[in-house]
Amino acid sequence: MTHYLLRRLPSALVVLAVASFGIFAMVRMVPGDPVSTLAGPDATPEARAAIRADLGLDQPLLTQYVHWLGQLAHLDLGTSYRIGGQVKDLVADGAVNTIVLTLTALLLASLAALVCSVLAVVLDNRWVNAALSFGNTLAIALPTFVTGLVLILLFAVVLPVLPAGGTPPDGFIARPDIAAQYLLLPAVCLALGAGAALTRFLTEALRTEMRQPYVTTARALGISRRRIVLTQALRNALPSAVTVLGIQFGTLLGGAVLVEAIFTWPGLGGLIEEAISGRDYPLVQVLLLLSVTVFVVIQLLTDVVHAWLDPRIRIGGTGS
């Protein structure tokens, strides 16, 4: 296991190292500059020069990069140019919201996928399959921005039972019942596509498992189909499902950008858009690097979980 992890770590670190430089350089190559955004149209050239020097942007690029790396090494993410305040705080605030939203969506998607696919395989009924497949395809085919608006229109405007957007006023912990209602629409909107994709995958994986010889063995032993699905096929499909879940998590994070915009959910999506449009270098850098890091970590994590779930990798080696 540790051996397994160790083998993957170096390439992950290489990706991160390359990413840090790539991001740093790219961010600075973007046309437009933070100073003019910051200073506004009425600033005098002297004022702009003062701001430029203040931000350290008059230094050579490499010096700036080394400086940034040094900061990172001390876990100092720098100060936002535009929004002001510590990048650390900004990112932390946004990250909490994004993570809560994404994880809820992931949970919803996984639960729905589990229930739907198990139902489909256990019942193995033509009509159930057709209905699920139809719903599934539709859920994948409906763009997020469409479902989001329909949900708002339905549940917040026509039938005002749920908030149209925003985060719960007292945070997620104080009033979980209220928080749940704020979360529901955006999470459902975000989860729809991922849930459908997961359902599709899991149903197919379960069907494939149900065609495996060990299932025939189990059936020949008089174990019911339902029980085989729940105790054996599912367990076998799990490792690869975890991999897909990892991929879906990445997709969800990406989709969150749009969902956050639709539901005015103050997460990282809005922050990154604002940071890029304001050329807020410290913030953009950290956010982009964070995005890569999350991706890399998820990959590592799914690999590890996959390995852990699969005794063939976990224990390894053949006997005899």
Partner 1 sequence: MPRPPARPSLLRALVLALVSLLVVSSLAACSSAVKEASSGSEDSGPTDGGTLRIGSTNDIVPASIFTNSSDAANTLIGAVYDSLIDYPQDSLDPQPRLATSWEVAKDGLSITLQLRDDVTFHSGREFTSKDVEFSIKTWADPTWTVQLQRTAAAVTGFDTSDPHAITLSFDHPLSNIFDLLDMLPIIDSESFDQLKEGKAYVGTGPFVFTSWTPSSKLEFTRNDDYWGDEPHLDGIEVDIVSDPQAQVSQLRSGQLDLITGASNRDLETLGKDDSYTVTPFDGSVQQIYVGADLANPDLQDVKLRQAIAYALDRQRIVDDVFRGQGTPINLPWPDYSPAYDAKANETYAYDPDKAKELVSQLGSHPTIPLAYSAGNANYEAVAQIVQSDLEAVGIKTELQPVENSQFIKQLIGGTFGGLWILQHGYAHYTPSTLAVSAYPFNADKNASHFVDKQYKEDADAAWERVDGSDSGAVEIYQRLNKDLLDNLFLIEIALLHFTVASSDQVHDLGMSKRGELDLDAAYLSK
Partner 2 sequence: MSESLLDVAAPEASDPDDQFDTRRRPGIWTALGRGKGLAGLILIGVVVALGLLAPLLAPHSPTEQIPGANLVGPSGAHWFGTDEVNRDILSRTLYGIRTDLLVVFLAVPIGAAIGILVGLVSSWWSFTDVIAQRVFDLVLAFPTLILAIALTAFVGPGLRTVFFVIVAVELPVFGRLTRTSVRTVREMPYVEAAHVIGAGSLWQLRRHVLPNSLEPLLVQLAVSMSVAVFIEGAMSFLGLGVRPPQPSLGSLIRDGVRNMYDAPYFAVGPLALVVALVLGLLLVSQALAEARRR
Partner 3 sequence: MSTPLLEVTDLAISFSHPRPAVRSVSVTVDRGEVVALVGESGSGKSMTARAIIGLLPDGARATGSVRLGGDELLGLGEKAYTAVRGRRVAMVFQEPQTALNPVRTIGWQIAEALRAHGGVRGKAARARAVELLTEVEIPDPEERLGWYPHQLSGGQKQRVVLALALANEPELLLADEPTTALDVTVQAEILALLRRIRDRTGTSILIITHNMGVVAHLADRVVVLRQGDVVEAAGTRELFAHPQHAYTRQLLAAVPRLPEADDGVRVLADAPAPTGEVAALEYDDVSVHYGSRMRGRVLPAVDGVTLRLERGQVLGLVGESGSGKTTLGRLAAGLVPLAGGRVRVGGEDLAGLRGRRRADLRRRLAFVHQDPEASLDPRFSIGEAIREPLDVHGVGSRAARDQRVAELLDAVRLPASFTKRRPRELSGGQRQRVALARALTLDPQLLVADEPTSALDVSVQAEVLELFADLQQRLGFACVFISHDLAVVNTVADHVAVLRAGKVVEHGAAARVFGDPAHEYTRRLLDAVPVPDPTVRDATGPALHEQREQIA
Of partner 3, partner 1, partner 2, none, which one does residue 218 interact with (CB within 5 to 8 Å by kind)?
A: partner 3
Near partner 1 in 51-110, by CB under 8 A:
51, 54, 80-85, 89-90, 93-94, 108
Find the helix packing angle between 281-309 and 268-277, rounded to 10°. 140
Q: CB of residue 189 vs partner 3: minimum separation in angstroms?
A: 35
Q: From CA 293, how far away is CA 290, in angstroms rounded? A: 5
Near partner 1 in 244-273, by CB under 8 A:
261-264, 266, 270-271
Q: Binding string, 223-252, against partner 3, x = CB under 8 A? A: xxx-x---xx--xx-xx-------------
Torsion over CA: 61, 64, 68, 70 (sign):
positive
Of the candidates 5, 99, 128, 140, which one interacts with partner 2 according to CB under 8 A?
Answer: 140
Whether the CB-CB separation of 275 and 283 falls below 8 Å is answered with yes
Of the candidates 109, 162, 218, 259, which one interacts with partner 3 according to CB under 8 A?
Answer: 218
Count of residues engaged in binding partner 3, rule: CB under 8 A: 30
Q: Which whole-number Å values give the CA distances from 1 to 116, 236, 237, in the listed order?
A: 32, 19, 20
Q: Applying CB under 8 A, which part among 37-45, 177-185, 222-230, 254-262 lies near partner 3?
A: 222-230
160: left (phi over 0), alpha (psi -120 to 50) or beta: beta
3-state class (DSSP) for residue 79 = strand
* Among 304, 196, 204, CA closest to 251: 196
Of partner 1, partner 3, partner 2, none, which one does residue 295 interact with (CB within 5 to 8 Å by kind)?
A: partner 2
Q: Tell me if 5 contacts partner 3 by CB under 8 A.
A: no
Near partner 3 in 72-101, by CB under 8 A:
none
Q: Tell me if 222 contacts partner 3 by CB under 8 A.
A: yes
Q: Applying CB under 8 A, which part among 14-22, 26-34, 126-134, 207-215 lies near partner 1?
A: 26-34
Q: From CA 300, how far away is CA 144, in angstroms rounded? A: 28
Of the candidates 212, 254, 277, 297, which one interacts with partner 3 according to CB under 8 A?
Answer: 212
CB atoms within 10 A of CB 153: 12
Q: Applying CB under 8 A, which part among 33-41, 159-167, 255-263, 300-308 lies near partner 2?
A: 255-263
Q: Is 213 exposed, middle or buried (0-12, 13-18, 19+ CB in 10 A)?
A: exposed
Q: Tell me if 201 contacts partner 2 by CB under 8 A.
A: no
CA dihedral 180, 181, 183, 186 (to 10 degrees): 150
Near partner 1 in 144-203, by CB under 8 A:
152, 155-157, 160-169, 175, 177-178, 180-184
Read off the DSSP letter of residue 86: B
Beta-ladder partners of 79: 86
Cβ nearer to partner 1, comparing 16 with 230: 230
Of the candidates 2, 3, 6, 29, which one interacts with partner 2 according to CB under 8 A?
Answer: 29
Whether the CB-CB separation of 61 and 25 falls below 8 Å is answered with yes
Q: Binding string, 260-289, against partner 2, x = CB under 8 A? A: -x-------x--xx--xx-x--------x-
Q: Is 233 exposed, middle or buried (0-12, 13-18, 19+ CB in 10 A)?
A: buried
Q: From CA 197, how far away is CA 178, in angstroms rounded? A: 29
Can you count the helices (H) and strands (E) in the chain? 15, 0
Which residues of the chain form contacts with partner 2 (CB under 8 A)? 11, 14-15, 18-19, 22, 26, 29-32, 137-138, 140-146, 149, 153, 250-251, 253-258, 261, 269, 272-273, 276-277, 279, 288, 291-292, 295-296
